[in-house]
């Protein structure tokens, strides 16, 4: 599926789609390898590999983070999306029978900075979920942009992506954002939405060096 300079392609062999699906989401030449799963073991393996690949940044690790929920079920997060570099995980929390302990440690690590946009409710959503997840440092990149550049705190993710990263045409569709995120099979529009939300958040956090803020 393609939207101008943003393309999504499925990359797994389709043999075990109930276990894990993988996609490449390409945004302005940035190819983001995206894993979609409800399996705790897959989420754990993704985290292990991601931490290994970025071990040199362990004291200043930046992670793009987003949470989605089904309309009418606001207090029940359906997905948690994480992005580090060009690796993204869309973990289907609503369907997951459990959360790996390594994910709990990862989310609560004091030297990891999680960033998003318009995310002031994400911490409470994760804490109040059936998995009772705690976050360490969670920043709204709008606050950082306002402090360092004097930008309005009302700017959208799309505007910040264009101003700071030079990424034009990145949009968050209202209809996709309001779709059924508890669905067994997330569609490609949802996966692209979740991936870009986390990737842009990560990229903005890196650009602003939020570990120093």
Q: What is the pLDDT of residue 55?
A: 81
Identify the pLDDT of residue 74: 66
Instruction: Give the pLDDT band of residue 1 (cuts 50, 70, 90).
Output: very low
pLDDT band at 4 (very low <50, low <70, confident <90, very high): very low
Q: What mean pLDDT is predicted for residues 174-185?
A: 96
pLDDT tens string 52-93? 998 877 778 999 999 999 888 667 899 999 999 999 999 999
What per-residue confidence (pLDDT) applies to 3?
44
Q: Domain total for the chain?
A: 1
CATH code of the domain in which 197 resides: 3.30.420.10
Domain residues for the domain of 191 are 2-212
Nearest one of 51, 58, 27 to 157, comparing CA atoms: 27
Model confidence pLDDT, tens digit, residues 91-103? 999 999 999 999 9
pLDDT of residue 87: 98
Helix axes 40-53, 101-108, angle to 10 degrees: 50
Q: What is the mean pLDDT of the chain?
A: 93
Q: How far apart are CA 152 and CA 150, in angstroms?
A: 7
For residue 103, the model assigns a pLDDT of 97
- For 119-172, how does the pLDDT look when each residue is reduced to its tens digit (9 = 90+)? 989 999 999 899 999 999 999 999 999 999 999 999 999 999 999 999 988 989
What pLDDT score was predicted for residue 16?
A: 79
**pLDDT attached to residue 104:** 97
Query: What percentage of the chain carries pLDDT values higher than 70?
Result: 97
Where would I find the beta strands (DSSP E) of the chain?
2-3, 6-10, 21-27, 30-37, 61-69, 77-84, 87-91, 112-116, 137-140
């Amino acid at each position: 599926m393609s939207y101008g300079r943003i393309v999504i392609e499925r990359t797994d062999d389709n043999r075990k789609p109930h276990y894990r699906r993988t996609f490449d989401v390409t945004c302005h030449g940035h190819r983001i390898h995206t894993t979609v799963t409800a399996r705790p073991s897959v989420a754990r393996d993704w985290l292990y590999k991601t931490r290994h690949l970025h071990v040199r940044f362990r004291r200043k690790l930046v992670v793009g983070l987003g949470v989605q929920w089904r309309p009418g079920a606001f207090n029940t997060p359906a997905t948690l999306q994480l992005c580090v570099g060009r690796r993204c995980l869309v973990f289907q929390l609503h369907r997951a029978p459990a959360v790996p302990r390594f994910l709990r440690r990862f989310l609560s690590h004091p030297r990891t900075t999680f960033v998003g946009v318009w995310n002031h409710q994400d911490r409470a959503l994760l804490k109040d979920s059936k998995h009772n997840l705690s976050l360490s440092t969670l920043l709204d990149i709008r606050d950082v942009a306002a402090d360092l550049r004097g930008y309005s705190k009302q700017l959208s993710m799309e505007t910040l992506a264009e101003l700071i990263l030079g990424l034009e045409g990145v949009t968050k569709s209202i209809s996709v954002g309001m779709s059924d995120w508890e669905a067994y099979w997330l569609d490609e529009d949802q996966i692209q939405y979740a991936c870009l939300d986390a990737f842009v958040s990560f990229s903005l956090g890196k650009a602003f060096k939020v570990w120093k803020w």
